Structure 1
Amino acid sequence: MPGPKDLDPSSSPRALLGAELRHAREKAGLTQEELGQPLFVSGSFIGQLEAGTRRMMPEYAVKMDEILGMDGFFERNCKAANKSRYPDHFAQAAEAEADALTIKEFEPLLIPGLIQTSAYARELFRTYQPTASEEKVDEMVDARLARGRLLDDPTKPVLWVILGEAALRQEVGGPKVMAEALRQTSTLVRNHRVILQVLPFSAGAHASLGGPLKLMSFADAPPLAYLQALTVGGLEDDPATVARHTLTYELLTAVALSPRNSLALIESVAEDYAHEDRQP
């Protein structure tokens, strides 16, 4: 009987690789937990690989080929499945976003990437990489805007953002850029595409002083939490860990402004920036 064919990179490589993994595991009579044990990963991690919400790393691919008798199939196709236009530390999170039913995000300092304008994103990338070529900056901006096109779907994913007040006050790119960025944010809220709350300075100490937080849920895979710092980031799938971060997010919603008051604040600050930009 012929073995599985190599994946077509023009299709959805992660989804196809995941489907082949599920087929091979079930053929071998293994549960997700049993396959995960020799890899030192959880059964839920295997489930996320099968659902295509996590990427298969080369070291796992080699081991799975051995366990499942796949004659190097996963190792050969791992490269195609892992191609990404995003930085390594964020690639898996960006891929998971595309499959998520809900995304809940806390950003203390910046407007989140999913709702950034081109000018706002460009200013950030130029600041982060002052010696990068214009072509490189263009590529990074295009990749960020591509993420935002998830919101072209009117219902999926449900996006809930808690925005630190500092993100409104930190002037990225000048008054014109900030006015445009905040107006786009308010438009998404008014169009019922984003649920948004502002965490005001007056809230004082809060549950996520350590930094940003992203939570994602899926139709056919366990939920994930993503934690990020400068040029590093990681997905968490341990149920207890995700539950703890979910509680953190719920605590943030409790001390943030209501969606109505948050929208009023965003639009007020946007008008202040617009007025400042019009001054001679």
Structure 2
Amino acid sequence: MPAPKDLDSSLSLPALYGAKLRKLRIRAGWTQRELGDKIPIAHSRIAQFELGNEVPTDDLSMRLDKVLGADGDLHDLWVHAKRFPPKDAFRRFRDYEAKATAIHKYQAHGVPGLLQTEAYAREIIREALPWCTADQIEEKVAARIARQHVFARSEPPLLWAVLDEAVIRRSVGGPAVMRAQLAQLLEAAGKANIELQVLPFEAGGHAAMGMSVTVLSFHNAPDVVYLEGGTLTELVKDCREVARQSHRYDRVHALALPLALSLKRIEQAMEEVGACAPYEES
């Protein structure tokens, strides 16, 4: 049996949680499989928690704390770890995205990466990462556009995206860049495997205020959810939490304009790009 991988608890709070979990498990004299059987949960999930690659749900963390006799210390650490999920969440999401058969997505702030033009992507990345050099930005733009190769598969995935109206109204990169981006959205919506809807301003408050939600589905594997909010991201695999986040997406989807009206709203936004006076600092 290979030696257990060394843990560096200084990497992140999830890594610190994982190191604490392993220490408690070893103190109890259990293998990962034995601890998993007591929860119950697959031993592979225990391994991911210990490596800091995943953070358990609230309920699961409390069960781990109780079974391991941590007297609340492990779950107290979870409260902080949950706020700062593993930093490789996007990398793992990208891997899942490449294998998905269906992608259902609500975008709060920007056009989905799978539908971005190169110019729009460059502007988004440049604004989000102002400390990056021009070469670093170009590398990131190329990586984002490369994700669109998923549609070149012999069986491309279904992409059903709900865009907040702010996405199509905020002029990113100026009128020319934004018109080209909106035109690409309209062109994409004409494909059999891509559906676009707009969540209108008049819908008011909704279940995913301030965050974006992506539900990934597969041929022979359970759904996975990817959450984005500000600078924090989280990949959700726990079936119970996946169901909750899918419910969140469904509630937003239910408020969106019908398909035909959504495309008309995008066309209207395209016509109105540049109609407002440019912003000038006083």
Runs (5+) with no aligned partner, structure 2: 3-31, 54-86, 277-282
Structure 2: how far apart are the matches of 1:91 and 1:38? 30
Equivalent position SS for 1:148: helix
Runs (5+) with no aligned partner, structure 1: 4-32, 50-55, 62-86
Equivalent position SS for 2:96: helix
Deviates more, 1:242-251 or 1:115-124: 242-251
Decide whether aligned partners of structure 1 residues 165 and 222 sit closer, same or farther in structure 2, where only a CA change above 3 A counts.
same
Q: CA deviation at 1:151?
A: 1.8
Q: Is the 8 A contact 2:108 2:210 kept in 1?
A: no
Residue type at the aligned position of 2:261? N
**Alignment-derived partner of residue 238 in structure 2:** 238
Residue type at the aligned position of 1:123? E
Q: Is the 8 A contact 1:107 1:212 kept in 2?
A: yes
Equivalent position SS for 2:273: helix
The answer to whether structure 1 residue 197 and structure 2 residue 197 are counterparts is yes
Residue type at the aligned position of 2:114? L
The answer to whether structure 1 residue 228 and structure 2 residue 231 are counterparts is no
Decide whether aligned partners of structure 1 residues 36 and 271 sit closer, same or farther in structure 2, where only a CA change above 3 A counts.
farther
CA displacement 1:139-198 (0-9 Å, x = unmatched) = 000000011121223742111100000001111100111100111011010122311110
Decide whether aligned partners of structure 1 residues 118 and 162 sit closer, same or farther in structure 2, where only a CA change above 3 A counts.
same
Equivalent position SS for 1:243: helix
Q: Is the 8 A contact 2:36 2:43 kept in 1?
A: no
Q: CA deviation at 1:210?
A: 4.2
Q: CA deviation at 1:58?
A: 9.0
The answer to whether structure 1 residue 270 and structure 2 residue 270 are counterparts is yes
CA displacement 1:196-250 (0-9 Å, x = unmatched) = 1100000001111141101011122211111112332111111111111111222
The answer to whether structure 1 residue 149 and structure 2 residue 149 are counterparts is yes
Residue type at the aligned position of 1:197? Q
Structure 2: how far apart are the matches of 1:196 and 1:265? 11
Equivalent position SS for 2:94: helix
The answer to whether structure 1 residue 129 and structure 2 residue 121 are counterparts is no
TM-score with structure 2 setting the length:
0.67
The answer to whether structure 1 residue 185 and structure 2 residue 177 are counterparts is no
CA displacement 1:21-58 (0-9 Å, x = unmatched) = xxxxxxxxxxxx94882898943966xx9xxxxxx799
Equivalences for residues 1-280 of structure 1 within 5 A: 34=33, 37=36, 42-43=41-42, 59=51, 88-153=88-153, 155-273=155-273
Q: CA deviation at 1:104?
A: 0.6
Residue type at the aligned position of 2:206? H
Decide whether aligned partners of structure 1 residues 229 and 38 sit closer, same or farther in structure 2, where only a CA change above 3 A counts.
farther
Q: CA deviation at 1:270?
A: 1.5
Q: Is the 8 A contact 1:103 1:158 kept in 2?
A: yes
Decide whether aligned partners of structure 1 residues 42 and 107 sit closer, same or farther in structure 2, where only a CA change above 3 A counts.
farther
Q: CA deviation at 1:271?
A: 2.6
**Alignment-derived partner of residue 82 in structure 1:** none
Residue type at the aligned position of 1:59? L
CA RMSD after TM alignment? 3.0
Q: Is the 8 A contact 1:45 1:237 kept in 2?
A: no
Structure 2: how far apart are the matches of 1:182 and 1:169? 10
Q: CA deviation at 1:258?
A: 0.4
Structure 1: how far apart are the matches of 2:153 and 2:35? 35
TM-score with structure 1 setting the length:
0.68
Query: How many percent of aligned residue pairs carry the same amino acid?
Result: 33
Q: Is the 8 A contact 1:89 1:231 kept in 2?
A: no
Structure 2: how far apart are the matches of 1:181 and 1:188? 10
Decide whether aligned partners of structure 1 residues 211 and 59 sit closer, same or farther in structure 2, where only a CA change above 3 A counts.
closer
Q: Is the 8 A contact 2:157 2:193 kept in 1?
A: no
Residue type at the aligned position of 2:125? F
Equivalent position SS for 2:180: helix
Residue type at the aligned position of 1:37? G
